[in-house]
Structure 1
Amino acid sequence: MSTTTSELEVAHGGVPAGKEHVYSQQPVLSARNIVITFGRVVGLDGVDLDLYPGEVLAVIGDNGAGKSTLIKCLTGAYVPDSGEIKLNGERVSFRRPQDARDAGIETVYQQLAVIPALDIASNLYLGREDRRKGPLGSVLRMLDKKGMEKRAGESVRNLGIQTIQNMGQAVETLSGGQRQAVAVARAAAFGSKVIVLDEPTAALGVKESGMVLDMVKQLRDKGLSVILISHNMPQVWDVADRIHIQRLGGRAGVITPETHDMGEGVAIMTGATKLSEDAP
């Protein structure tokens, strides 16, 4: 017997083995019945989502399924027409991306927001520059460049990134994977609760993609909650704890790599099959 999308909660049996304690906690980020329309086009039609502490939640779906629209609603780029979003159990209403950032939600988009001509430290602290202490900072508004370089280096090392050593190096001299690492390190440095990664490996080779996925695992191991949007199914099944499937503006289900293989996930994503009450 088929079940409706709204009934597909985490209790469907797809809790990752050995992590039952994680899913008994309150979600870090939750959304209920999110609806947004663009004229006569329905972007999201009553979507629910739960993100738990220290998990990687992948969001997959075909083009036009509502993945990016959902993420933009969760991060303040769009304001939903209706529905409820909670952060650590408290209802929030983000009117702009800065509201989400102030609340501890950082987003790394596929089009990296880095300035190639600036060095790594300047990119990490872009828009959040630290001033020097005393009158030099308060009166003359001088930046604490040495301090920012030191803290930038700590952020990079904390993610296990060994291919970047000189924080004074211009970003334009870095490879694609290294630039992505800078963007992820910036998100990790300021995202105290949730980090959203939108297709972080789309333009990268195999080796650089592996480096980025290792960073995602590092973020999870440090207790951060990560939402990963990706079309790369092998990468999703490699790194995700749970997989949220979008279809035609709604949520088709939530599965795990342990309960469903890639073929089954794609079948649900395309509508070839549906989750049922007796499915794991």
Structure 2
Amino acid sequence: MSAVTSASAPVLNARNLSLGFGHTTVLTDVDLTLHPQEFTAVVGTSGVGKSTLLRALTGLIAPHDGEVSIPARRADASRAWSMVFQAPRLFPWRRVRANVELGLEGLGLSRAERRRRAMEPLALVGLE
């Protein structure tokens, strides 16, 4: 699995990833480099490890072997990529804005900055 080569510095590198659950291995020896301005899709039939790979790339699970690195961070500490889950992942005890802010909470932003950033996409869809 590889992305189209780009002249710019990568935003994410995955080398020799082996992924799975417990003693069950789902993927082995995955190498992937993502560059700015690329569109990358992970395609395959149900159960081949697409979501497992994406979870490892975003840091939601640790690989059995190999490493994921993000060589450069943006000046505002935001990520150059994100993940949208297949099923809704809202917390019913949080209000809409608080659910949107959830992805911003680990970035060290002030409460006011998280609110400002969350309100932009909510306004785009009329949920302000």
User: The TM-score by the shorter chain falls in which range?
Assistant: 0.5 to 0.7
Give the total of aligned pairs.
Answer: 119
Cα shift readout 1:161-214 (whole Å, capped 9, x = no counterpart): 4xx3241xxxxxxxxxxxxxxxxxxxxxxxxxxxxxxxxxxxxxxxxxxxxxxx
- What's 2:111 paired with? 130
Indicate which of 75, 88, 93 corresponds to 1:112: 88
Q: Does 1:121 align with 2:116?
A: no
Q: Secondary structure at the match of 2:126?
A: coil
| Superposed displacement of residue 34, structure 1 | 0.4
- What's 1:155 paired with? 121
| Whole-angstrom CA distance in 1 between matches of 2:84 and 2:20 | 24
| Superposed displacement of residue 39, structure 1 | 5.0
Query: Contact (CA 8 Å) 1:32, 1:84: kept in 2 or not?
Result: yes
- The aligned amino acid for 1:112 is P
Query: Contact (CA 8 Å) 2:19, 2:53: kept in 1 or not?
Result: no
Describe the shift of the 1:165–1:89 C-alpha distance in structure 2 as closer, same or farther (beyond 3 A): closer
Query: Contact (CA 8 Å) 1:44, 1:66: kept in 2 or not?
Result: yes
Please list every run of 5 or more consecutive structure 1 residues that lacks an aligned counterpart in the other structure.
Answer: 12-22, 91-101, 132-143, 168-280
- What's 2:56 paired with? 73
Q: Secondary structure at the match of 1:59?
A: coil
| Superposed displacement of residue 60, structure 1 | 0.3
Indicate the structure whose relative CO is greater, using CA pairs within 8 Å and at least 6 residues apart. 1
- The aligned amino acid for 1:31 is A
- What's 2:4 paired with? 10
- What's 2:12 paired with? 29
- The aligned amino acid for 2:4 is V
Cα shift readout 1:140-176 (whole Å, capped 9, x = no counterpart): xxxx9xx93x65443345xxx4xx3241xxxxxxxxx
Please list every run of 5 or more consecutive structure 2 residues that lacks an aligned counterpart in the other structure.
Answer: none
| Whole-angstrom CA distance in 2 between matches of 1:151 and 1:42 | 38
| Superposed displacement of residue 24, structure 1 | 0.7
Q: Secondary structure at the match of 1:125?
A: helix
Choose 1 or 2 for highest CA Rg. 1
Query: Contact (CA 8 Å) 1:153, 1:165: kept in 2 or not?
Result: no
| Whole-angstrom CA distance in 1 between matches of 2:72 and 2:117 | 31
| Whole-angstrom CA distance in 2 between matches of 1:118 and 1:81 | 33
| Whole-angstrom CA distance in 2 between matches of 1:35 and 1:152 | 35
The structure with the largest helix share of the pair is 1
- What's 1:52 paired with? 35
| Whole-angstrom CA distance in 1 between matches of 2:97 and 2:69 | 33
Describe the shift of the 1:81–1:118 C-alpha distance in structure 2 as closer, same or farther (beyond 3 A): closer
| Whole-angstrom CA distance in 2 between matches of 1:83 and 1:53 | 23
- What's 1:165 paired with? 126
Describe the shift of the 1:46–1:116 C-alpha distance in structure 2 as closer, same or farther (beyond 3 A): same
